[in-house]
Chains A and B, each alone.
Chain A
């Protein structure tokens, strides 16, 4: 047998230090290990209503032999449809294998070793991970009142800052910048850096002052917007998301992107998913009802929570969130622990149908310690 490769010499230092992402075990395996006969997935902000009916129909009638044909390499039809839908040119879109993939495209396009990106310390982790993986510094600015801190971000910018990543509304706090605040921030950046606004939960927000980032691209050519079909449109299993910006900026990003990474079924389901306003309304109604029930019960239990925009809320527990996860899993309820988001002792709950919310509330009550250990919180 040949010698194993000298990995310490072959692998760049920043990759050796990088944490491999270990996804959850499959549902059946987790249910076996935790000894539960059912499982409510309230951990990934998936939409329990499933994809819009039109997208489900596309998936149902997909002819199996077409699996042997390569997909459109640049999501040709979907980009045209997005352009029509959002009033932009098709070349202003780049479709990726989930929004996670387009994060990598942007960082590769603008950053090299020694550069830095700026984001928050307690937000979606992938900006930070991909930057570090690419050998760049990730400057993490503490949230202020659970929201991105514009002043501190501006102070942290230097000559090597290439991209600022904002998550609006923020995952997991649900806080958002109003249009006024975002414009003021972009004015002060004055086009010097690329500003990415991740709008993964755009379709869930009904607040009048919440900005539509895409409508601002013509005034701020350094603006790049991310959106996804995973959340509202419930196509998470097919992996499809996109970014949009000016043609010039997107042309640069396109140079780093992997073509053919988005499969045919995802492209075709996404193409029809956005034509279903009823689906959006049904989902919003479900979230509203679910939040009303859960927040009422949390108040009754004396638990604090952070209830912002989006199909989730964050709950502060008088115990370790990872212990709470195990106790809830044993009752067939899967939530997201927040230690990895740097919110120790918080869990994030995905809002779902009433049955799931009721089971969650009952299970949480059982999981809480009898004597509340509030000290130090």
Chain B
């Protein structure tokens, strides 16, 4: 029980405390590509701190509206406790791969609801776009995790990680990992897929009316989600080398996550935004292509 609580605490702390640091590193890299100096690595922490103290201007009312930011951050942190990070997920007994997929979708739902509740048409348009992105991206996520389930013969993420760590890379898991990576790009709202936020035309989309501490929580949730999903990618598809020493494994995963996120940011910097129909077509093709991973997995490759 104590270990369970400590494990949960560790995963929550990683998601909560390290996600701004990763965001800071990504900003630094983006600045480097732009030939700028860029903000200090700690800037996202200061952003959050400042937002938490600013006046909270609310355009909507009601209990649900008031609870949405906290629930959004909580759903991402719940996802963190269901995701293996260096070791087995602390709450693995409470949710398997399908639960993880649905919980990952939960934060997006809550953000969309906050966009619709705010009463701003920009919020509704942003929510509608966010939903369309989810419709096109989730199949790719689901297929890539299902390939892991098919290979390991279990829906538990821990079982999939162990199988992949023991048996080494395979064709099917490589294709599935690639599909997951492309989906991660959209899930973390990075270019060329930041269609829902679209700062230049929708002014932040679902978050247009959010300010102060509420905005801080939504921002934090988005950063934490990008970190947790990157951990999920690294653990399920790239678990090597796995030494069995939790601290070392965690550090190795952390470094791999940094590599993955830097790649995400690199794609983000060098691409313009796609139109929504282009993005949907793109992910439909990604989803269909990842079905080939299923075929490979069925024949055991």
Q: Do chains A and B interact in one complex?
A: no
